[in-house]
Amino acid sequence: MLLHGFLESKEIWRDYLELLSKERQVITIDLLGHGETGNIAPIHSMEDMADSVIEVLNYLEIEKANFAGHSMGGYVIMALLKKYPEKIPKISLINSTPAEDTPEKKENRERVAGLVSKNKSAFVSMAISNLLTSENNKKFKSEIEILKNEAQKMSLEGIIAATLGMKNRMDSTEIFKEFKGEKFIVVGMQDPVLDVADTLQIAKKTNAEIIEFPDGHLSFIENRDQLMHFLKSKA
């Protein structure tokens, strides 16, 4: 099961589905407040999102699934691991971390909730551009424009609900360490929003296999072929 990140939707996996679904069943969904999924509360906790994922699996009568999540999607996987550990044999965190936000990042998410209320369109454009280098913003201009256009469809309430849900999430480092199944952390070595050194340290501490890509926070765009190979061969 592939889970998208903040300001994204299941559409980010469209190119991946064609190849990956040849060999196994692949499920993608829109998380709460994203894509075609509506809002259910002023704050969408990662646990709320995890519950919605389980509802889909139950509806499809699927008992277990390997999970790969991009950024916020990884946070949702950590909530799943806490609430439904029996459902998860394998975990891949892509440009994500089991750690909670630092105090500074929590403050920043509070500011974001205020900023987006003033100018949603400008916030969405800036937030996505900040996820990769200026060079890659130019290199992947068309892909980034598609991502921004999709994000602009999100409601103000959905953006704020997810932002506060991420801010409030608990640290999951220990539970990730205790997880006995296969686990991977995919790291973009030029990621501007995740502390790369900290993420590498956490991967070692939790005995997760580290997969290093050379670019930023949007590995599904910037390192498409490498990520495709990883998901096909290991995830």
Per residue in 154-204, pLDDT (tens digit) is 999 999 999 999 999 999 999 999 999 999 999 999 999 999 999 999 999
Residues in the chain, how many? 235
Q: Is 30 exposed, middle or buried (0-12, 13-18, 19+ CB in 10 A)?
A: middle
Q: What CA–CA distance (Å, rounded) separates 144 from 220? A: 11
Residue with the two structure tokens 């990042």:
105
**What is the identity of the amino acid at 107?**
E
- Reported as a single tens digit per residue, the pLDDT across 135-147 is 999 999 999 999 9
- Reported as a single tens digit per residue, the pLDDT across 65-74 is 999 999 999 9
**Contact between 45 and 168 (Cβ < 8 Å):** yes
| Percent share of the chain, pLDDT over 70 | 100
The closest alpha carbon to 192, from 131, 235, 149, belongs to: 131
What pLDDT score was predicted for residue 113? 84
Domain of 172 in residue numbering reads as 2-233
115: pLDDT strictly greater than 90: no
95: pLDDT strictly greater than 90: yes
What pLDDT score was predicted for residue 114? 85
pTM of the predicted model over 0.75: yes
> What totals of helices (H) and strands (E) does the chain contain, helices first?
12, 5
What pLDDT score was predicted for residue 136? 96
Domain count, the chain: 1
Backbone angles phi, psi at 40, to 5 degrees: -120, -10
Question: Residue 25 belongs to a domain with what CATH number?
Answer: 3.40.50.1820
